Homo-oligomer: A and B are copies of this chain.
Amino acid sequence: MLNHRLLPAALVNELKVIFGDRFSSTAVVLDYHGRDESSYPAQPPQAVVFANSTEEVASLVKLCSLHEVPIIPFGAGTSLEGHVLPIHGGISLDLNNMNQVLGVYPEDLIAIVQPAVRRRQLNDELKDTGYFFPVDPGADASIGGMAATRASGTNAVRYGTMRENVLALVVVTAAGEIIKTGTQAKKSSAGYDLTRLFVGSEGTLGIITEITLKIYPQPEDIAAAICSFSTVTDAVKAVMQVIQLGIPVARVELVDALAIQAINRYSKLTLNEQPTLFFEFIGSSHSVKEQAELAQEIVSNHGGHNFEWAAHPEDRARLWHARHNAYFACLQLQPGCRIINTDVCVPISRLAQCIAQTRQDLDTSWLKATILGHVGDGNYHVLLVIDPDKPDDLVEAERLNSAIVHRALQLGGTCTGEHGVGMHKIDFLVDEHGIGAIEVMRTIKKALDPKNILNPGKILKI
């Protein structure tokens, strides 16, 4: 295993021949590829290669395999868990030149994209077709990165996650072979589900260079509403009932009182500063009305008040923009702060209990903390506000995160609903799955990447 030594000269020479000035080791480029949105200190790679094609990725991987040098795929750099940090050195593979929407096939409800296509870019390109891609993690992440971390977000309650919305992939294996997983057929029983194996594998089993996605007709009608509650528990209980009755909400998001304060300040809004649910309903006009009436009734029964509709598209956009910017709003809660973001997901019947106990934990801490969540899926985030200059803050944040994760696991949940494992949840993963299942993962990793060159040190310690 190479560890922070210089790259072999032979490799560098070969890469310069293939990639020319798309091979870089200038300090500013290295520095940019050594960080993401996590609170880990930057760890620059030894070099960065900007690939233009699947074939170029394959060439790079073959050379790196020969020289046993790690490769870390890099897209938008929006990971929250240190996914793109080259902690064992090696080459950061920047895929941002591979940013084309290769094809849109509305008649098959499919779009085919290169890995660096951003979520917003894709939807901009789809706009005039009458279709859209629903998975929306908030950040303007790359589709490749979203596939690699099995991302989801606000729309997952209705449309599912990247697990459900990736139909097929082109992947470069650790040996530099180019393979296709899956077809354009909507379903298949043809052998092992390699697509789902690579989705969520965080660049450790292969490098995703093309993604076939499901797309959906733009809804005929959309309605959004917000609603306040006296307590987070009341809000969560309302959501539980909405889900259990099978009301097909498009989004239902919880934002706690402190986060609403932050949002008001950041987005210059005057929302009622109480625990709040953000709803979105889609469908035909009739169906939207029906869903909304049912949801409103449930919400009222749980003490929801100030139910307010965002009737105009601009009002709706303002609302969701505010929700999406909650992370940045919370960064303003304390000057110069950073945020440690937790990401557990529990069975929805345990959600109210889980969040209430979490709130008790948070109340005993000196750290500011807000709770946000894709509560329709049982997934919530605690944004723990830390001063990067105070080591105790980080220790305290990790203590709280650990308590939150272990509570979620005890309640039948997962340590990460959508952010992935990266470097941050490797130990929690063992607690969640047990040593036996982790050994199966390790066996797969060793078999598919015997030299451990693909994003080493992520998901599993090997």
Chain A contacts to B: CB under 8 angstroms: 105-110, 149-152, 156, 160-161, 163-164, 173, 177-181, 183-194, 196-197, 199-201, 205, 216-217, 240, 243-246, 283-284, 286-287, 290, 343, 345-349, 377-379, 408-409, 412-421, 425, 428-429, 432-434, 436-441, 443-448, 459-460
Question: What residues of B have a CB within 8 angstroms of the CB of A432 in the complex?
Answer: 183, 190
Contact of A444 among B152, B196, B448, B459 (CB under 8 A): B448
Contact of A196 among B163, B173, B418 (CB under 8 A): B163
CB pair B163 A433 closer than 8 Å = no
Q: List 8 A-B contacts (CB under 8 A).
A: A107-B244, A178-B436, A187-B417, A188-B417, A189-B343, A192-B441, A444-B447, A444-B448
A440-B107 CB under 8 A given contacts A187-B345, A196-B196: no
CB pair A414 B185 closer than 8 Å = yes
CB pair B185 A413 closer than 8 Å = yes
A443-B448 CB under 8 A given contacts A185-B412, A347-B105, A459-B192: yes
Question: What residues of B have a CB within 8 angstroms of the CB of A378 in the complex?
Answer: 185-186
A418-B187 CB under 8 A given contacts A181-B437, A284-B290, A440-B194: yes
Question: What residues of B have a CB within 8 angstroms of the CB of A197 in the complex?
Answer: 192-193, 196-197, 444
CB pair A173 B440 closer than 8 Å = yes
Question: What residues of B have a CB within 8 angstroms of the CB of A443 in the complex?
Answer: 447-448
Contact of A179 among B177, B205, B283, B436 (CB under 8 A): B436
Contact of A184 among B108, B180, B412 (CB under 8 A): B412
Question: What residues of B have a CB within 8 angstroms of the CB of A460 in the complex?
Answer: 191
